[in-house]
């Protein structure tokens, strides 16, 4: 077992985001977290990665509460990609990616270069990070996580700013991390078709606070998605 969530409740003033949520994320699994804006996707991801505490319930990594981990030890186990882009970093792309090695106490340049190569950004290594486009910076941020080499990847909208071909390439990469490197991936997505194609499991957060968790083949049905998004996704568009 890697990540276990038990009887989790998340709430903000005036709203319960989810209640009594329980599921297990195993090595080799790639999870998509889906829901409308304001449904609690980011809040949940913060709890799973140890950045925030739940209102009620528990999130555990190998039987130990995530909140009990010292920060540096947790960073060796869990890598987090937040929605906010890196700001105020005036160093080079390579220097930025090497920061991913900080929890391990080294600045392994070989691992950083290999990470840049995996996202197709190796030729940008000497460039200043601040000079890159939004999509280029996003791939560099993913490379930093690859250099960090955690066991669990928690990704908040990892496809933002990316054009279609790089969205597909990054989803291939995340699936490969899970399947071939025995990692676990949990990511917030807005596109259910990427989840259906690349993710083994899905977690649906409905606006009334109830949830569904399980294999994507079983969960990502037209009925569930129409209820989740409040829109007839599979009806023909009339012009």
Region for residue 153 given its phi and psi (left: phi exceeds 0; alpha: psi -120 to 50; beta: otherwise):
beta
Residue 22 has what DSSP assignment? E
pTM for the whole thing?
0.94
Predicted local distance difference test score (pLDDT) of residue 234? 59
Element spanning 32, H or E: strand 30-35
pLDDT of 180 > 60? The answer is yes
- Cα separation, 45 vs 25, in Å, equals 13
Residue 110 has pLDDT above 70, yes or no: yes
Tell me the CA distances in angstroms from 169 to 29, 103, 187, 229, one per residue in order: 18, 27, 15, 26
pLDDT at 86: 59
Binned at pLDDT 50, 70 and 90, residue 67 comes out as: very high
Helical residues (DSSP H) of the chain, grouped into ranges = 41-48, 71-77, 93-98, 109-118, 134-148, 164-181, 192-198, 216-219, 222-229
Q: Is the pLDDT of residue 239 over 80?
A: no
Q: Give the residue-averaged pLDDT of 187-199.
A: 96
Reported as a pLDDT band with limits 50, 70 and 90, residue 233 is confident
Alpha carbon distance 137, 202 (integer Å): 27
- Amino acid 231: pLDDT: 87
pLDDT band at residue 214 using 50, 70 and 90 as cut-offs: very high
Lowest mean pLDDT among 41-55, 100-114, 221-235: 221-235
- Please state the rounded mean pLDDT for residues 100-109: 91
| Alpha carbon distance 38, 42 (integer Å) | 9
Domains and CATH numbers, the chain: 3-86+151-229 (3.40.50.300)
How confident is the model over 39-60, as a mean pLDDT?
Answer: 94
Q: What angle do CA 101, 158, 143 make, to 5 degrees?
A: 30
- Tens digits of per-residue pLDDT, 6-17? 999 999 888 999
CA–CA distance, 164 with 121 (Å, rounded to integer): 17
């Amino acid at each position: 077992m890697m990540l276990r969530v038990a009887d989790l409740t998340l709430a903000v003033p005036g709203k319960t985001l989810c209640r009594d949520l329980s599921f297990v994320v195993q090595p080799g699994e790639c999870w998509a977290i889906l829901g409308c804006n304001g449904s609690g996707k980011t809040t949940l991801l913060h709890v799973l990665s140890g950045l925030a505490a739940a209102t009620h319930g528990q999130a555990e990594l190998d039987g130990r509460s995530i909140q009990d981990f010292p920060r540096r030890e947790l960073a060796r186990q869990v890598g987090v990609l937040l929605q906010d882009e890196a700001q105020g970093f005036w160093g080079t792309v390579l220097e930025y990616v090497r920061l991913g090695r900080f929890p391990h106490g080294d600045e392994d340049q070989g691992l950083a270069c290999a990470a840049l190569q995996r996202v197709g950004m190796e030729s940008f290594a000497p460039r200043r990070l601040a000079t890159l486009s939004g999509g280029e910076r996003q791939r560099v941020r993913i490379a930093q996580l690859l250099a960090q080499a955690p066991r669990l990847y928690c990704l908040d909208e990892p496809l933002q700013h990316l054009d279609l071909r790089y969205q597909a390439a990054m989803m291939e990469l995340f699936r490969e991390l899970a399947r071939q490197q025995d990692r676990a991936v949990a990511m917030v997505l807005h596109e259910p078709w990427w989840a259906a194609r690349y993710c083994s499991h899905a977690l649906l957060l409905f606006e009334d606070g109830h949830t569904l968790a399980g294999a994507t083949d079983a969960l990502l049905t037209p009925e569930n998605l129409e209820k989740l998004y409040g829109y007839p996704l599979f009806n023909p568009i009339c012009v």
